[in-house]
Amino acid sequence: MQRAASLGLSCMIVLLAALSPAYAAPWMHLSCLPAFPDVIENPGGEAVLTINLSLVDPASGMLDISLIDPGGTLVYHDARAGAARMECQWTVPPGSPDGLYRWDVQYTSDDYTGTDHVSFMATGRSTGICGFKIIDRDANGQYTPGVDSLAADWEICVHGLGGAPDLGCRSTESEYGSACWFFITPGTYEVSETLQPGYTPVASPVDTVTVTSGVIVEVDFFNAPLGGCCFYPTGDCEELTKVQCEAWGGTYQGDFVICSVGLCPSTPTVPRTWGCVKQMYR
């Protein structure tokens, strides 16, 4: 499924860190605008990082905040002491590269050290394609926060049509479920995913997109996990999505559970005597 706009996914990342038993477990929440995989205009767009702390004594700690560009260069740094909530704003300056930018945050106190990061994408100078792999657990063909997830290590391939070059295949990244090609030639491309066992595509695994200059086209691939579905009293089993199984009156045995002998035992019919049958209708 092709989307020229954002998927609307949340960029919120929550970190739960261990602390000594004498204290409650701390939390550090990072969120960013634009939320990945939304894009920010390059140049001139503004990225906003929001940090929320839930700690024993946030005033005693120090936050170290860094922003790294797609080439690994530090483009922003700040260090702040003692606050439960704060925001950092950064405006993309002229000459900045397109691609993924990463906020790195470290909190250090006498009792605890925690680190986390969150990213956003800046585009406008380049032409490109980004494929996103989504595990669609509710099999509705759209991203559902808290239910679905972005998936790593799925192969996405881009084949040029009508004279556009082939861009080859890449695996989706471990954190963002995306494979991107930047600074490509404008034209028409066929974008496809390589299916993996244990899943079924919710939407087409192949899409054709036209990419124009200065635009990053997003292509979404949705797959739902399969699992054994038992139908009683017969004991029949079929590998379906959880949604399909429940809609058809089956009992879902879990993601990736394979139908096998004994997984769905039949429910025997209880024999009744003629006297019992007559008693039911008295």
Give 32-84 pLDDT, tens digit per residue. Answer: 888 765 678 889 999 999 988 876 565 577 889 999 998 889 999 998 887 77
Q: Residue 250, Cβ neighbours under 10 Å: how many? A: 20
Percent of the chain with pLDDT over 90: 45
Give 157-183 pLDDT, tens digit per residue. Answer: 999 999 999 999 999 986 678 898 888
Give 7-42 pLDDT, tens digit per residue. Answer: 333 333 333 333 333 344 567 888 888 876 567 888
- Cis ω for the linkage preceding 201 (within 30 of 0): no
How confident is the model at residue 204, as a pLDDT?
92
Mean of all residue pLDDT scores within the chain = 82
Q: For the chain, list the domains and their CATH numbers.
A: 6-123 (2.60.40.1930), 128-225 (2.60.40.10), 226-275 (no CATH)
How confident is the model at residue 54, as a pLDDT?
76
Long-range contact pairs involving 206-210 (C-beta distance under 8 Å, separation at least 24): 207/1, 207/2, 208/161, 209/2, 209/129
Report whether 41 contacts 257 (CB < 8 A): no
Over 50: is that where the pLDDT of 6 sits?
Answer: no
User: Which of 53-62, 95-104, 176-185, 199-208 has maximum average pLDDT?
Assistant: 199-208
Which amino acid makes up residue 38? D
Q: What is the pTM of this model?
A: 0.62
Q: How confident is the model at residue 103 (pLDDT cuts 50, 70, 90)?
A: very high
